Amino acid sequence: MARKKRMATGFTTIKDIARECGVSVTSVSRVLSNSSYPVSAQMREKILKTAQRLNYTPNLFARGLKTNESSEIAILVPNIVNPFYTSLVSGIESVAAKEGYTILLYSTDSNNMSERKIINSIHGKRISGMIISTGSDNGEIIRILQSNSQSPTRIVLVDYPSPSSNHSSVFFDYRKGSALGVEYLIRKGHRDIIYAGLKPDRRTRTERIEGFKDVIEKAGIPFSEEALCIYDGNENAKENPEFFAGTELAKRICAKSKKSTAVVAMNDMVAFGLMNHFNRSGVKIPQDVSILGFDDNLFCEVSYPPLTTVRIPSGQMGELAAKILVDELRNDSADSYINLTIEPTLIERNTVAEVN
């Protein structure tokens, strides 16, 4: 009898292997799942060799349905425009792939309503766990997730505003990082320094402002609210809101009668927006004004001039968060949490000048 051709689905199934070996689907399943059910050594070897020859790959989704397990990890980030989050997700994905997990990426676009829609979507899926990085206090999000019986049992927070007592987290001290940058500017002789950023509606942003103020006051430099140049427009109105905000803030700074010698940007994307307008306006960096960024994303080396910045190792933070989550999923350490703090470092390039 002519052997039936395998369906051209692009994937080998257990049925295909069973047909090739002339045995039942049940026998193939028992061998491939390494079941203790007795199967002759000769038949076991035949099934395994056939599976290898046909390039069989287990259907993890189907396995999850049967074992009530999942191999998917959800990641929640504010946006994917900022290279910081691109690097963070890349770090998570590199570890997840090695450990046999796939990722589901959700972008909230810095919008609370979007976050709620995403949570509703997650409730309808079978997910192993979550890594949350929204830059805000995620307490409400986590409570909503855990109030549903189908929600993931494991959540790891990354780039979170503060260490968590109820979940593992990879934490960055934004206040300390901001202070490190301002201290560097003061050592370079700067006294008239401006902070430029978006409205402080998240703790990660307020921490940066507090770090700025801490050092200014400690250095004995008179502080006034005019030193804070804040863009309070609609962040969702532009494709790249942080770069746009930096451009708008640079216009305000140029219009000031009193010129500052240095600007501390909320992050690198805001710094690039500042630099873009300054360069177009004939303001020389760093001769006329020094710029300090925050993040150290991949464009800092190729900007003109290369950007001096406070480094947050986002890729490393993503890797650590993924490793912690995978370890918790496999070991089921229900009451054990890890809080890692990443120390800031200053990356010195060419956007800060020394002044008398």
List, for residues 299-355, the tens digit of each pLDDT value: 999 999 999 999 999 999 999 999 999 998 888 665 678 889 899 999 999 999 999
pLDDT band of 54, cuts 50, 70, 90: confident
Burial 299-310 (b: 16+ CB within 10 A, else e): bbeebeeebbbb
Q: How high is the pLDDT of residue 186?
A: 98
Dmax (CA) for the chain in angstroms is 94
Rounded percentage of the chain residues whose pLDDT exceeds 90: 51
Strand 72-77's sheet: what is its strand order? 102-107, 72-77, 129-132, 154-160, 168-172, 339-342
Q: Where in the chain is the domain with CATH 1.10.260.40?
A: 14-58
Query: Which CATH number does the domain 174-311 belong to among 3.80.10.10, 3.30.420.40, 3.40.50.2300, 3.40.50.720?
Result: 3.40.50.2300
Beta carbons of 151 and 94 less than 8 angstroms apart: no
Q: Where in the chain is the domain with CATH 3.40.50.2300?
A: 66-173+314-344, 174-311
Name 103's Cβ contacts closer than 8 Å, sequence gap at least 6.
72, 73, 74, 75, 89, 92, 93, 96
**Phi-psi sector, 198: left (phi>0), alpha (psi -120 to 50), beta:** beta
Structure token digits, residue 204: 């990660």
Higher pLDDT, 279 or 29: 279
- Measured distance between the N- and C-terminal CA atoms of the chain, rounded to whole angstroms: 94
CATH architecture of 66-173+314-344: 3-Layer(aba) Sandwich (3.40)
**Bridge partner list, 348:** none
Domain 14-58 has CATH 1.10.260.40: yes
Q: How high is the pLDDT of residue 44?
A: 87
Residue range 5-18: mean pLDDT, rounded: 64
pLDDT band of 282, cuts 50, 70, 90: very high
* Lowest-confidence segment of 64-73, 262-271, 328-337 by average pLDDT: 64-73
Name 92's Cβ contacts closer than 8 Å, sequence gap at least 6.
73, 75, 103, 131, 158, 318, 319, 321, 322
Residue 266 CA to residue 82 CA, distance in Å, equals 13
Residue 211 CA to residue 197 CA, distance in Å, equals 14
Q: H-helix or E-strand containing 20?
A: helix 14-21
pLDDT band of 3, cuts 50, 70, 90: very low
Higher pLDDT, 289 or 114: 289
pLDDT band of 272, cuts 50, 70, 90: very high
Q: Quick one: which of 193, 196, 155 has its CA closest to 321?
A: 155
CA angle 256, 262, 264 (to 5 degrees): 100
Beta carbons of 333 and 294 less than 8 angstroms apart: no
Q: How high is the pLDDT of residue 356?
A: 81
